[in-house]
């Protein structure tokens, strides 16, 4: 009996250990495959994940290759069909990393001092790993959800899907296959400071990206005979006005809650300002103090900033052309046309021609429904007791914006703990804590199960 008990104990512990081991194997394989946008091969990564899913007995797996070395995977774990499917998604492409910029080889996943190092470990191969490993685990357990769980691994997120080969290709060509009530995506993590968990983020909205080209043309001439109408001066004066302009403060459901709940983690003055802002009682001084912090400012309003400048053609000629790029990040739900009217008013000069240089993908914030928030709050209390769940709006954009635009609610939520003062995504020595990895995989396992039940 004693021996049998021991044997059962060993068997159980080997079952418990099998999951982290599988996840780590998948993680290693994914990080090892080069999926850098220009030089890499996301089709290979998609094929590798498809092989693992099929080997585990998941039959509905497809890899789409809309261009050489570009792959998207769609897999489905069948449910009873009682509820509309849900999607779990992660992009498998990564930003380039140069060996000489890193202290370790970015393309060789390395475990060191309690971290996994390598390009993509955090952005976004952790989530891809979690969803593949967990789908295999559900299959092994014969888990029969109330809704289908659709896994999407897509390419080209890091270049905003500029060539329409990733999530936009799927939306256009395989809409029925990926149709879901909502999706879980990257976008917000468990924030820690000095190893202490502070908050669990859930991203429900993204600002809208749009670029404008501002141009002034002029007949030019010899620079020994200057005139007052100068293309560079006119453009510079408009940009100067833009630099001084502040868009109005406007909160939505997500950012209001973000300021309200983030206040508890801040110094007394900042906390008071945040609470006043969330309550709609902030005075000009409080708004000015908060606006001085770029990360608060970006949450409070639409922003437009000059990012590129060119002009003139010779040192001894009057400029015939002066041109600038202005990059705007627009609050979701705001009108792009109104923004353009505002820009023209700021320039206050008909000589400054404003042209839209990037077609925006507008997207509405995803609703904070109790069926989504409640399981997240319950699991957060188990995994990281005492920390708040905080909805957030990203100032950047992910593939979530294309899905929201297509009518699918998206929640950016990884369950991955990382230091808020040490952001390494896209940068050098990108890494994920070993414990954060194990906890995150298990957290997503339980969360997706709860959402699909």
Of 131 and 138, nearer to Zn ion (C-beta) is 131
Q: Which stretch binds Zn ion (CB under 5 A): 117-125, 328-336, 347-355, 401-409?
A: 117-125
Smallest distance from Zn ion to CB 125, Å: 9
Of 169 and 247, nearer to Zn ion (C-beta) is 169
> What is the contact mask toward Zn ion in residues 305 to 334, using x (rule: CB under 5 A)?
------------------------------
Smallest distance from Zn ion to CB 61, Å: 23
Smallest distance from Zn ion to CB 271, Å: 31
Of 119 and 449, nearer to Zn ion (C-beta) is 119
Q: Which stretch binds Zn ion (CB under 5 A): 70-78, 82-90, 180-188, 362-370?
A: 180-188
For residue 216, what are the β-bridge partners? 322
Q: Which stretch binds Zn ion (CB under 5 A): 181-189, 236-244, 294-302, 350-358?
A: 181-189
Of 320 and 395, nearer to Zn ion (C-beta) is 395
Mark 85-98 as b/e (b = at least 16 C-beta within 10 Å): bbbbbbbbbbeebe
3-state helix/strand/coil string of the chain: CHHHHHHHHHHHHHHHHHHHHHHHHHHHHHHHCCCECCCCCHHHHHHHHHHHHHHCCCCCEEEEEEECCEEEEEEEECCCCCCCCEEEEEECCECCCCHHHCCCCCCCCEEECCEEECCCCCCCHHHHHHHHHHHHHHHHCCCCCCCCEEEEEECCHHHCCCCCCCHHHHHHHCHHHHCCCEEEECCCCEEEECCEEEEEEEEEEECEEEEEEEEEECCCEECCCCCCCCHHHHHHHHHHHHHHCCCCCCCCHHHHHHHHHHHHHCCHHHHHHHHHHHHCCCCHHHHHHHHCCHHHHHHHCCEEEEEEEEECCCCCEECCEEEEEEEEEECCCCCHHHHHHHHHHHHCCCCCEEEECCCCCCCCCCCCCHHHHHHHHHHHHHHCCCCCEEEEEECCCCCHHHHHHCCCEEEECCCCEEECCCCCCCCCCCEEEHHHHHHHHHHHHHHHHHHHC
Check binding of 93 to Zn ion (CB under 5 A).
no
Q: Which stretch binds Zn ion (CB under 5 A): 48-56, 116-124, 331-339, 441-449?
A: 116-124
Check binding of 161 to Zn ion (CB under 5 A).
no
Of 124 and 260, nearer to Zn ion (C-beta) is 124
Smallest distance from Zn ion to CB 120, Å: 9
Of 19 and 37, nearer to Zn ion (C-beta) is 37
Check binding of 123 to Zn ion (CB under 5 A).
yes
Smallest distance from Zn ion to CB 363, Å: 17
Q: Which stretch binds Zn ion (CB under 5 A): 4-12, 118-126, 277-285, 432-440?
A: 118-126
In this structure, what are the phi and psi dihedrals at residue 21, rounded to the nearest 5 degrees?
A: -65, -45
Q: Residue count at the site for Zn ion (CB under 5 A)?
A: 3
Smallest distance from Zn ion to CB 436, Å: 17
User: Which residues neighbour 61 within 8 Å (Cβ) at sequence distance 6 or greater?
Assistant: 50, 53, 54, 73, 74, 75, 76
Whether residue 59 contacts residue 125, with contact meaning beta carbons closer than 8 Å, is answered with no
Smallest distance from Zn ion to CB 318, Å: 46
**Region 258-287 residues binding Zn ion, contact defined as CB under 5 A:** none
Interface with Zn ion (CB under 5 A), residue from 124, 189, 206, 430 = 124
Smallest distance from Zn ion to CB 187, Å: 8
Smallest distance from Zn ion to CB 81, Å: 31
For residue 326, what are the β-bridge partners? 212, 306
Smallest distance from Zn ion to CB 306, Å: 26
Of 77 and 87, nearer to Zn ion (C-beta) is 87
Smallest distance from Zn ion to CB 445, Å: 21
Of 85 and 400, nearer to Zn ion (C-beta) is 400
Q: Which stretch binds Zn ion (CB under 5 A): 179-187, 217-225, 294-302, 334-342?
A: 179-187
DSSP β-ladder status, 196-206 and 208-217 = unpaired
Q: Which stretch binds Zn ion (CB under 5 A): 76-84, 170-178, 186-194, 413-421?
A: 186-194
- Binding site residues, Zn ion, CB under 5 A: 123-124, 186
């Amino acid at each position: 009996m004693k021996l049998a008990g021991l044997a059962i104990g060993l068997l159980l512990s080997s079952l418990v250990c099998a999951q982290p081991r599988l996840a780590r194997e998948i993680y290693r394989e994914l990080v090892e495959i080069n999926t850098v946008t220009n030089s890499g091969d996301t089709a290979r990564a998609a094929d590798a994940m498809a092989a693992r899913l099929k080997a585990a007995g998941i039959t509905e797996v497809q890899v789409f290759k809309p261009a050489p070395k570009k792959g998207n995977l769609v897999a489905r774990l069948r449910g009873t069909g009682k509820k509309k499917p849900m999607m779990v998604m992660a992009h498998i492409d990564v930003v380039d990393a140069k060996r000489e910029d890193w202290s370790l080889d970015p393309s060789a996943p390395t475990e060191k001092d309690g971290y996994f190092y390598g390009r993509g470990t955090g952005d976004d191969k952790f989530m891809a790993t979690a969803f593949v490993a967990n789908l295999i685990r559900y299959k092994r357990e014969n888990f029969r959800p109330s809704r289908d769980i659709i896994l999407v691994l897509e390419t080209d997120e890091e270049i905003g899907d500029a060539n329409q080969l990733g999530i936009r290709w799927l939306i256009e060509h395989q809409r029925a296959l990926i149709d879901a009530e909502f999706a879980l995506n990257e976008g917000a993590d468990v924030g820690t400071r000095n190893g202490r968990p502070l908050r669990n983020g859930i991203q429900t909205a993204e600002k809208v990206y749009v670029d404008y080209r501002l141009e002034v043309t002029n007949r030019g001439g010899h620079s020994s005979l200057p005139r007052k109408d100068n293309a560079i001066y006119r453009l510079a004066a408009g940009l100067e006005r833009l630099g001084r302009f502040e868009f109005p403060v406007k909160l939505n459901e997500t950012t209001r809650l973000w300021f309200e709940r983030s206040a508890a983690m801040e110094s007394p003055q900042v906390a008071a300002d945040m609470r006043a802002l969330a309550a709609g009682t902030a005075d000009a001084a409080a708004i000015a103090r908060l606006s001085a912090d770029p990360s608060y400012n970006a949450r409070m309003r639409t922003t437009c900033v000059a990012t590129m400048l060119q002009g003139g053609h010779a040192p001894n000629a009057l400029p015939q052309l002066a041109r600038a790029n202005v990059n705007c990040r627009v609050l979701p739900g705001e009108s792009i046309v109104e923004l353009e009217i505002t820009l023209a008013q700021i320039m206050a000069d008909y000589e400054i021609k404003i042209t839209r240089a990037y077609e925006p993908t507008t997207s509405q914030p995803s609703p904070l429904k109790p069926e989504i928030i409640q399981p997240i709050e319950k699991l957060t209390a188990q995994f990281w007791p005492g920390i708040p769940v905080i909805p957030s709006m990203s100032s950047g954009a992910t593939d979530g914006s294309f899905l929201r635009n297509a009518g699918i609610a998206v929640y950016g939520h990884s369950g991955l703990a990382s230091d808020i003062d040490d952001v390494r995504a896209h940068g050098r020595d990108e890494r994920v804590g070993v414990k954060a990895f194990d906890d995150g995989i298990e957290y997503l396992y339980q969360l997706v199960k709860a959402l699909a039940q």
